[in-house]
Structure 1
Amino acid sequence: MRWPNQPPASFAFVMATGIVSAALLDAGLTGFSRALLWIATVALVVLVAGLLGRLMVHGRDAVADFRNPHKGFGYLTVVAGMNVVGIGFHPVAPAVTWVLAALSIPLWIFLAYGVPLSMMLRTEIGEGPRMRLLPVDGTWFLWVVSSQSLSVAAASLATDAGAVSLMSDAAVAFWGVGIMLYLTLTTLVMLRLLTGGESLGGIVPTNWIFMGATAITVLAGSMILHLPADVPVIHLAGPTIGGLSYLLWAFGLWWVPFLVAFGLWRHVVRREPLRYVTALWSIVFPLGMFAVATYRFGRENQMPLVAVLGQWATWVAAAAWVAVAVAMVAAFLAWLRRRQAVRN
């Protein structure tokens, strides 16, 4: 429960809450949607303040996490969290979307280049051993998620007057970066899993980000396709984006049974205890993103069965959010009781 132990993972709560808010808005539950959006907003402010405090007080630990292959990419949750919250405010306060997107871009540039470069240069100068197989895991897909969150933000802002052409270009550019990273990382992750590289046995919660990266790519694609067709970049890239988005949606759906099967194997067959950890929000976020992406992709492309599947997925995501939130509160209360017992 100490902040210094899991700084980036905590932002997964912001991402999960923000995207479930969007899913509930699509379902017509405006009141619940706004409540979750404000919860995500407050959490974002608190966590950013806490992260800044950690950087000042525990700077050495933060640098070590930054250069750790299993933790470094986790800092990109800050970028994704900012844009998920910003996009939620776009219908009522687009200025918030603009500000959060503008703040997230330099952070994305620093992290998207800095994290992989720190690992490459560390190996080159002999600070760490050369590995035959990179220790890639689900957190690496935050590289994709953060890039596509910028694409979604740009596509949202492209609907504002005077920003259509510039923001459309940015949306397609970030979408292209994200999809190339996705295809590359998918190869590495599948190779690692098929060769027994998952050291914890089966797929851990953060590997659900694999599916979340697929879903946010589809969401970004559907929003780009909804932009005016006479914008040059949409006319040029539209058919490619539409086709690849549908293929990735199908692949993301195909991936879900594997994630569920590995989870059952870990907790039913191997009987590993299922208890609250911050990483559980890394399951809720992909479920919510899949619901939003599926519903909006089906709606925008006149595919009613896909849209209905997205509506069903919304209730799964909402139920998952409630379950993990209850577990989080219970874990916090248990921690308070233990702390009180120690004091007594």
Structure 2
Amino acid sequence: MSVASLYPGYFALVMATGICSAALREIGQPTASAVLLAIAVACFVVLTIALGWRLVRYPRQVLDDLSAPEKAFAFFTVVAACNVLASRLVADGHRATATVLAIVGAAVWLVLSYTIPVRLILGPRPRPILEGVNGTWFIWVVGTQSIAIAAAALDSPGTRYTYTAALIAVLMWSVGFVLYLIVATLLLTRLLLLKVRPQDLTPPYWVTMGATAITVFAAAQIIQMPEAPAVLAAGPVLAGLGLVLWAFGTWLIPMLIAFGLWRHVLRRVELEYGPALWSIVFPLGMYAMASMQLGTAARLPIVAGIGQDWTWLAVGAWGVVFAAMCVALTRSLLRRTQPETVGTP
């Protein structure tokens, strides 16, 4: 893999690692959580440098990706990575760093949230936009809800910021919820009207569940904030819809597994490492974290217990994909360093 062709959604690696770190911390595994946090920070730094270099050296490729409906929304992984990492760092007391990350994430969200839709709606259309609708579109929802989570995490009880943070969190949650409904409608329309090929059901389709999970997580975080006008006004709605979305996300899991079996078993698409696989790990980790937070906030011990057990599944998936990534990167590096063999007559 070269910087020129860097996958726009590669920051899902940071998202997945960060949320698995948070889930491990939640179930009382501080050492393992710290290890994953260190990996998440290192990966964030490397990917930020790579993306920055790509923006400077290969701006045309970046613009092409931003104009492609099947790729553009993957850039929202940058937003989610900043905010997932910020919320995890706050838990360890790194408030200043987390604040900077949250501000950067919000700024990137503002740019992408208006640039991408406007470009897709008003720009040239070599083919129907509906053909490009896929699971990556839900990363728009994930990025939006991640801002709500960061705002709730950075809350300072007893200060005027509490009211501002609560208002920001509630407003962003509301925007994210409506975006989920819009994207879900578009995706279902695409799946029902256009032919579905094996190459279409890529790992980012798991973000359909990941988007519900992060919406639940954000709702649980908000209703546990200190009392503020925005929280008092929206609290009952957030609690009710949080439970509804958790149930719907749980229902989605068997369907997503069925999609994977159809793609890899029945249609024999080879399963190999690709950066899009992190779009499976993140939803698994977020489902675990959302279940634990919802169970605590809504006093549902069964839901919380599901999240605790699910954490190990998410961490196991993280380990498998991380090992596959290391193997793939090692092989790619070896191919580049091996001298070309010159043929003999």
TM-score range, shorter chain: over 0.9
User: Which amino acid letter does the alignment assign opposite residue 109 of structure 2?
Assistant: W
CA-atom RMSD in angstroms: 1.5
Residue 118 of structure 2 corresponds to residue 120 of structure 1: no
1:167 and 1:28, CA in 2 relative to 1: closer, same or farther beyond 3 A? same
Give the equivalent residue in structure 2 for 1:328.
325
1:265 and 1:215, CA in 2 relative to 1: closer, same or farther beyond 3 A? same
Q: Deviations over 1:102-158 (max 9, x none)?
A: 121121100011011111111xxxx32462835211111111000000000011112
TM-score by length of 2: 0.94
Contact 2:138 2:211 in 1 (8 A): yes
Give the equivalent residue in structure 2 for 1:75.
75
Give the equivalent residue in structure 2 for 1:228.
226
Residue 23 of structure 2 corresponds to residue 23 of structure 1: yes
Alignment of 1:27-176 (within 5 A): 27-91=27-91, 92-122=93-123, 127-129=124-126, 131=128, 133-162=130-159, 163-176=161-174
Work out the number of aligned pairs and report it: 339
Distance in 2 (CA, whole Å) between partners of 1:83 and 1:228 is 21
Residue 43 of structure 1: how far off its partner (Å): 1.1
Distance in 1 (CA, whole Å) between partners of 2:297 and 2:311 is 17
Residue ranges of structure 2 left out of the alignment (5+ in a row): none
TM-score by length of 1: 0.95
Report which stretch shifted further, 144-153 or 89-98: 89-98
Distance in 2 (CA, whole Å) between partners of 1:257 and 1:71 is 26
Q: Deviations over 1:207-255 (max 9, x none)?
A: 11111110000000000110123x1111111111111111011000000
Match of 2:271 among 274, 289, 294: 274
Residue 295 of structure 2 corresponds to residue 301 of structure 1: no
1:151 and 1:284, CA in 2 relative to 1: closer, same or farther beyond 3 A? same
Report which stretch shifted further, 201-210 or 171-180: 201-210
Residue 341 of structure 1: how far off its partner (Å): 3.5
Match of 1:215 among 213, 216, 234: 213
Match of 1:244 among 235, 241, 263: 241
Match of 1:258 among 245, 252, 255: 255
Residue ranges of structure 1 left out of the alignment (5+ in a row): none
Give the equivalent residue in structure 2 for 1:184.
182
Q: Deviations over 1:271-297 (max 9, x none)?
A: 111110010001000000000001111
Contact 1:208 1:286 in 2 (8 A): yes
Distance in 2 (CA, whole Å) between partners of 1:258 and 1:168 is 35
Give the equivalent residue in structure 2 for 1:311.
308
Report which stretch shifted further, 49-58 or 91-100: 91-100
1:197 and 1:5, CA in 2 relative to 1: closer, same or farther beyond 3 A? farther
Contact 1:73 1:140 in 2 (8 A): yes
What percent of counterpart residues are identical? 43
Give the equivalent residue in structure 2 for 1:290.
287
Distance in 2 (CA, whole Å) between partners of 1:275 and 1:39 is 22
